[in-house]
Amino acid sequence: MPGESRLSSLLLITRPADGVARVSLNRPERRNALNMALRVALAEAFRELGSDPGVRAIVLTGEGSSFSAGADLNEYLDATTIEVFKRDMHLLWGAIAECPKPVIAAVNGYALGGGCELALHADIIVAGRSAVFGQPEVKIGLIPGGGATQRVTRAVGKYAAMRLLLTGEPLPAAEALALGLISKLVDDGEVAAVALDYATRIAALPAIAVRQIKELVVDSMNSGLDSGLRLERKAFQIIFSTEDKTEGIKAFLEKRPPRFGGN
């Protein structure tokens, strides 16, 4: 139900609108740095929300002045190869990447390192004008470990990605928009409202069609054109078994608002 909330020491989860969940990183005193406890909480939240039939879209954001300034380096300083291996970070990232519901990232302030990678796990990124993106790992002798070498490259192409990843330089939000790294640039005070508006509008659309579109677009990043087109044809055919397809077409022909039931 809208207004329902759950507060933990690490995440704030609310239901601001029908069909919409809002997940907010809750370490503002550390600019929402991603320690292991927060990563585990995020993975658990996305698994839960991804399987909740009452959730049709998710807004991901951070409390305070930043989205996330990146990994909590206190947990990296003395970590060994085996210790990092045993953390199974790919499973924690995978819970977000594999979420079947559309995810809208609302980004203010810093989205750096793991914070930038977290935003890139979303399907739509809304950023404030003062937001700053970047992958500065190389400056401290690391490389990205949450998918940036792949996701940034797919978003902006080889040459822009190489500049960002090899220099570690910060990327202002306006330039991020020009490169195609984010979806929408708005005034800082409008980020939350615009992200919620996207989520609310998506949540009101046919759930099966929305899920198929997300799945096809994500798959397109990992497959060739021919394979992607075959998957799209199959999904298009499947849609004709949904009640929402019939309702949507009828409503259009009858010049009335559709009444989608999610089936």
In the chain, how many domains are there?
2
Active site residue 114: yes
- Which residues are within 8 A (CB) of 221 and not within 5 positions of it... i.e. 6 or more apart? 154
Q: Where does residue 207 rank: exposed (0-12), middle (13-18), buried (19+ CB within 10 A)?
A: buried
pLDDT score at 225: 66
pLDDT score at 2: 66
pLDDT score at 83: 86
Same domain, yes or no: 43 and 164: yes
Q: Is the pLDDT of residue 230 over 80?
A: no
Domain boundary among 203, 223, 243: 203
Q: Read off the pLDDT band of 1 (50, 70, 90).
A: low
Q: Is the pLDDT of residue 222 over 60?
A: yes
Active site residue 180: no
Same domain, yes or no: 153 and 130: yes
The residue among 71 and 160 whose pLDDT is bigger is: 160
CATH of the domain at 231: 1.10.12.10
Q: Is residue 262 part of a domain?
A: no
Q: Is residue 259 part of a domain?
A: no
Annotated active-site residue in 45, 117, 173, 248: 117
Same domain, yes or no: 212 and 196: no
Same domain, yes or no: 100 and 149: yes
On average, the pLDDT of the chain sits at: 90
- 232 torsion bin: left (phi>0), alpha (psi -120 to 50), beta (else): alpha
pLDDT score at 232: 66
Annotated active-site residue in 62, 114, 147, 248: 114
Same domain, yes or no: 37 and 164: yes
Q: What is the pLDDT of residues 102-140, one digit of tens each?
A: 999 999 999 999 999 999 999 999 999 999 999 999 888
Q: Is residue 260 part of a domain?
A: no
- Which residues are within 8 A (CB) of 254 and not within 5 positions of it... i.e. 6 or more apart? none
Active site residue 71: yes
Q: Is residue 185 part of a domain?
A: yes
pLDDT score at 243: 87
Same domain, yes or no: 94 and 214: no
- Which residues are within 8 A (CB) of 211 and not within 5 positions of it... i.e. 6 or more apart? 100, 101
* Reduced 3-state DSSP string for 14-60: EEEECCEEEEEECCHHHCCCECHHHHHHHHHHHHHHHCCCCCCEEEE
Number of neighbours of residue 66 by Cβ within 10 angstroms: 24
Q: Is the pLDDT of residue 60 over 90?
A: yes
Annotated active-site residue in 43, 57, 71, 155: 71
CATH of the domain at 86: 3.90.226.10
Same domain, yes or no: 11 and 90: yes
> Domain span at residue 14?
5-203
Same domain, yes or no: 151 and 126: yes
Mean pLDDT in residue range 154-159: 93
Same domain, yes or no: 113 and 221: no
Same domain, yes or no: 139 and 239: no
Mean pLDDT in residue range 258-262: 86
Q: Read off the pLDDT band of 6 (50, 70, 90).
A: low
Same domain, yes or no: 219 and 162: no
Residue owning tokens 């953390």: 87
Annotated active-site residue in 95, 109, 115, 137: 137
Same domain, yes or no: 139 and 218: no
Distance CA 244, CA 238 (A): 12
Q: Is residue 244 part of a domain?
A: yes
pLDDT score at 101: 97
